[in-house]
Amino acid sequence: MSDPLRVAVVGLGYWGPNLLRNLVDLDDAEVVTMCDPREHRLDHWGRRYPAIERTPSYMDVLSDDRVDAVVIATPVSTHFQLAAQALRFGKHTFVEKPLAASSEEAEELVGLARRAGRVLMPGHTFLYSPPVVLVKEMIDRGDLGEIYFVSSSRVNLGLHQADVSVVWDLGPHDFAILRYWLGESPESVSALSRACVIPGTPDVAFVNMRYASGTIAQIELAWLAPSKLRRTAIVGSERMVVYDDTSGEPVRVFDSGATLPDPASFGEYQLSYRTGDIVSPRVEPVEPIYRQMEDFCRAVRERVEPRSSAQLGLEVVETIEAVDRSLQANGSPARCRRGSPADAGMPV
């Protein structure tokens, strides 16, 4: 094996330490330094990992030649500036999701990465979750047939954030998962939301999405809900799957469907329904963050695109923006402008 990737972790708030812990466990990576402007965070995590250097100065990190890559886990509003600087200093760059606070920013990052020949990877961790990967493999094998529709609920009595809507907070999970599964982003979205508790901050949103392939999707996002619910149903012509992150059986496959015996003569009640076994495939208990950071290291080393690619991250931001536009237009459908494939954010 080659030398490990030398990494700096930037941002030691809620999520950064999770990335830090997994990078420490990874043979492929060596955490050289950690960076946070807040001294008490540096002190706290420095005691936990005494062998790792600490600095409150991001410029120290960027000017450190030992550092191959930066891993950024800071507030969304700072993503663009920190990532852009890192890329300009020639660092491979991992940024927490969403990739940036606007598609303009995201596109500029994608362009910077391409020109710099560096990996830019957003942290869509769910793409490394074993049940999500298992569903992807089933779709790619054709087990589900044509994907008719997807219905997803991601709700909980969770934390409100005064400055971010539930669409920006929870939406990236579903938008990224669907982009990964379906291999396409929606053509258009239509949305309805409400700010129930904090005026101006939507805490519930209903999003309808239409894809070029014909697939349609419905997504419910809510911070205020009677019980934790993360349930995604994917209904295909051959099989149907329910994915539930919170269940002991996170993937359940229903061998059932409806078939039209003779298109020429169908009438009322003439369909043939098929219902068969239900299978809960065994899912490997691996930590998604670990797999994600492993993929980042592999992308750098082998010069390949990570599964959670910059292009995917850009499209997720475009989808969020389209939702916002539909909300501003009282629910009228909004088109999701797509970055052209030529813009794909991979180093050559």
Interface positions, 210-229, toward a copy of itself (CB under 8 A): 210, 214, 216, 218, 220, 222-228
156 binds a copy of itself (CB under 8 A): no
Per-position b or e across 56-88, b if 16+ CB within 10 A of its CB:
eebeebbebeebbbbbbbbebebbbebbbbbbe
Beta strand 229-236 with 240-244: parallel, antiparallel or unpaired? antiparallel
Q: Which is nearer to a copy of itself, 111 or 145 (CB)?
A: 145
Least distance CB 114 / a copy of itself (angstroms): 35
- Residue position matching structure tokens 């087990």: 143
Least distance CB 116 / a copy of itself (angstroms): 33
Query: Which one of 257, 288, 345, 347 is in contact with a copy of itself (CB under 8 A)?
Result: 257
330 binds a copy of itself (CB under 8 A): yes
38 binds a copy of itself (CB under 8 A): no
**Can you point out the beta strands (E) in 109-203?**
120-123, 147-155, 188-194
Give the whole-angstrom CA distance, residue 161 versus residue 336.
25
157 binds a copy of itself (CB under 8 A): yes
304 binds a copy of itself (CB under 8 A): no
Site for a copy of itself in 40-69 (CB under 8 A): none
Query: Which one of 42, 233, 304, 344 is in contact with a copy of itself (CB under 8 A)?
Result: 233
What length does the chain have? 348
266 binds a copy of itself (CB under 8 A): yes
Query: Which one of 115, 282, 303, 337 is in contact with a copy of itself (CB under 8 A)?
Result: 282
111 binds a copy of itself (CB under 8 A): no
Give the whole-angstrom CA distance, residue 294 versus residue 306.
10
249 binds a copy of itself (CB under 8 A): yes
| Amino acid found at 9 | V
Q: What are phi and psi of 18, to 5 degrees?
A: -65, -40
Cα of 319 vs its chain's centroid, Å: 12
Are 103 and 314 contacting, i.e. CB atoms less than 8 angstroms apart? Answer: yes
Q: Which is nearer to a copy of itself, 212 or 271 (CB)?
A: 271
Site for a copy of itself in 132-151 (CB under 8 A): 148-149, 151
Number of residues that bind a copy of itself (CB under 8 A): 71
